[in-house]
């Protein structure tokens, strides 16, 4: 008999068994070979990669690859230590300065992963006796961080400034000790936070505002700084966190801030203190990608052209996509088995997308989540649309009912 400790995993074990019986592997599907930023072999099939967050295609940029090679030759393959011990290299500090300067700020921290950056900041900024107000659809890294903080946690309805304002009013004098957390682009449905309204509430009550630009860095804003720049509210953001694993094509995370106190906060963040620092090759490729974002804004234009093309094509098929085009285009479904069947059918038609199930999805629905890249060709976008059209013709996908 397995230990009773394992009882809570029975539902997941049964789900995995069902997937195995169907010979479907949507979670942790193995990429066996890559040919470019948008093509590879997944589960033995050559596919268009429409499940990657490689928004600008920079993971395959030869300049980034060469920078990584050169750094490994100069600095070795890893740091073998935390930033507090022996793991702070000159390159880490250089990237911190460059990330801060990219945002027009003076203070920045580089983390080993985006998850560590967001979780670490959310766990550290507020504490016992203080309040954190977060969007109900916040990423798991945000939820994990605020639970560790010891602060009182209040969720406001997704992208609902009125609900946020009501909760701030109820705090009374405590509102000035509150931390508000929002994201730029929400990762599952691709919708953008109403940051103008959220920033106005922050100003009214004197709270702090943290914005996670993980999916909006490189995609939104006049110079690619994200949703806060696009909304014109950067001056209201106290802490910007994000990741290197989307538009920058690497792995790692960051926080930048106008507040000099960030340097003191740095040494209070457990996710920074107690983990090994990023390898030199990762730091070098990220620095090169950051330069490319600033020098080649046409990549952002191509990304949005592709996003509009995919969104428009899927919407023309009558599929239930979000209210507006985004680098994340998700098709919402209500039946788990049908969603699995559609995921497999897309793979067989040469398109790899993400299958998202609750609780990762923001509701009880299931998602076929598509990520668009500037590296996708127009023909590849059309092939993705054609694969979905094939599912509609086969009766696997039902167009949304009008009205």
Predicted confidence (pLDDT) per residue in 330-367, tens digit: 999 988 889 999 999 999 999 999 998 877 667 668 89
Question: Tokens at residue 42, please?
Answer: 């997944």
Is the pLDDT score of 263 beyond 80?
yes
Where in the sequence of the chain do the CATH 3.40.640.10 domains occur?
79-278
How many CB atoms are closer than 10 A to CB 73? 11
Strands 131-135 and 178-183: parallel
Share of the chain above pLDDT 70, in %: 98
pLDDT confidence tier of residue 111, bands split at 50, 70 and 90: very high
pLDDT given for residue 148 in this prediction:
97
Q: What is the dihedral of CA 159, 162, 167, 170, to 10 degrees?
A: 170
Provide the residue count of the chain. Answer: 403
Q: Which one is predicted more confidently, 187 or 346?
A: 346
* Mean predicted confidence (pLDDT) in 255-259: 98
Which residues make up the CATH 3.90.1150.10 domain(s) of the chain? 4-60+297-393
CA distance 214 to 216: 6
401 pLDDT band, cuts 50/70/90, is: low
- Which element (helix H / strand E) includes 331? strand 328-333
Query: 66 to each of 73, 280, 289, 329, 402, how far by Cα in Å?
Result: 11, 13, 11, 32, 51
Task: Compute how many other C-beta atoms are within 10 angstroms of the C-beta atom of residue 44.
Answer: 9
Confidence of residue 398 (pLDDT cuts 50, 70, 90): confident
Fold of 4-60+297-393: 3.90.1150
Residue 401 to residue 4: CA distance in whole angstroms: 46
DSSP string, 106-171: SEEEEESSHHHHHHHHHHHSS-TT-EEEEETT--HHHHHHHHHH-SEEEEE-TT-HHHHHHHHHHH
- Note the pLDDT of residue 179: 98
What's the pLDDT at 364? 67
Report the alpha-carbon distance of residue 60 to residue 47 in Å, rounded: 17
pLDDT of residue 188: 86
pLDDT digits (tens, 9 = 90+) for 202-244: 999 999 999 999 999 999 999 999 999 999 999 999 999 999 9
At residue 20, the pLDDT reads 82
Please classify residue 198 by burial: count the beta carbons closer than 10 Å to its beta carbon, then call 0-12 exposed, 13-18 middle and 19+ buried.
buried
**Whether residue 402 has pLDDT greater than 50:** no
Tell me 200's DSSP state: H
* Top-confidence residue, 170 or 4: 170
**Edge-to-edge strand ranges of the sheet holding 253-257:** 107-111, 253-257, 239-243, 208-212, 178-183, 131-135, 152-156
What is the distance in angstroms between the CA of the first residue and the CA of the last residue of the chain? 53
Predicted confidence (pLDDT) per residue in 268-285, tens digit:
999 999 999 999 999 999
359 preceded by a cis bond (ω within 30 of 0)? yes
Please give the model's pTM, rounded to 2 decimal places. Answer: 0.94
Q: What is the mean pLDDT of the chain?
A: 94
Band of residue 1 on the pLDDT scale cut at 50, 70, 90: low
Question: What confidence score (pLDDT) does residue 360 get?
Answer: 66
Task: Give me the mean pLDDT over the 136-164 stretch.
Answer: 97
Q: For tokens 């979670």, name the residue.
A: 27
What pLDDT sits at residue 29?
A: 85
Q: Which of 374, 325, 312, 295 is nearest to 52 (CA)?
A: 374
d(Cα 339, Cα 332) in Å, to the nearest integer?
Answer: 9
The CATH class that applies to domain 79-278 reads alpha beta
Answer positive or negative: Cα dihedral of 199, 202, 203, 204.
positive
């Amino acid at each position: 008999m397995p230990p009773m400790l394992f009882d809570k995993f029975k539902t997941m074990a049964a789900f995995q068994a069902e997937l195995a019986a169907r010979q479907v592997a949507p979670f942790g599907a193995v990429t066996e070979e890559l040919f470019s930023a948008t093509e590879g072999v997944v589960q033995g099939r050559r596919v268009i990669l429409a499940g990657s967050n490689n928004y600008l295609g920079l993971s395959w940029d030869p300049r980034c690859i060469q920078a990584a090679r050169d750094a490994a030759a100069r600095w070795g393959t890893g740091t073998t230590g935390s930033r507090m011990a022996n793991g702070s290299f000159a390159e880490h500090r250089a990237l911190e300065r460059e990330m801060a300067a990219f945002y027009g700020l003076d203070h920045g921290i580089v983390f080993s992963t985006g998850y560590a950056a967001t979780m670490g900041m959310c766990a550290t900024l507020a504490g016992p006796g203080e309040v954190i107000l977060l969007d109900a659809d916040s990423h798991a890294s945000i939820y994990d961080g605020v639970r560790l903080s010891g602060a009182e946690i209040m969720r406001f309805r997704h992208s609902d400034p009125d609900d946020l304002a009501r909760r701030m009013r109820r705090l009374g004098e405590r509102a000035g000790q509150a931390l508000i957390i929002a994201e730029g682009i929400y990762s599952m449905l691709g919708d953008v936070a109403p940051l103008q309204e959220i920033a106005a509430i922050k100003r009214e009550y004197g709270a702090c505002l943290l914005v996670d630009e993980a999916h909006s860095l490189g995609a939104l804003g006049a110079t690619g700084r994200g949703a806060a720049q696009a909304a014109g509210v950067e001056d209201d953001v106290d802490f910007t966190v994000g990741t290197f694993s989307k538009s920058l094509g690497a792995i790692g995370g960051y926080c930048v801030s106008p507040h000099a106190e960030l340097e003191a906060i740095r040494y209070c963040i457990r996710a920074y203190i107690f983990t090994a620092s990023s390898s030199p090759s990762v730091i070098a490729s990220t620095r090169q990608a950051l330069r490319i974002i600033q020098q080649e804004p046409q990549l952002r234009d191509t990304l949005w052209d592709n996003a509009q093309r995919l969104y428009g094509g899927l919407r023309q098929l009558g599929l239930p996509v979000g209210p507006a085009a985004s680098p994340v285009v998700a098709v919402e479904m209500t039946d788990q088995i049908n969603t699995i069947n559609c995921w497999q059918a897309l793979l067989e038609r040469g398109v790899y997308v993400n299958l998202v199930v609750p609780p990762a999805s923001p509701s009880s629905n299931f998602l076929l989540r598509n990520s668009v890249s500037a590296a996708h060709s127009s023909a590849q976008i059309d092939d993705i649309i054609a694969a979905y059209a094939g599912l509609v013709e086969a009766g696997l996908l039902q167009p949304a009912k009008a009205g």
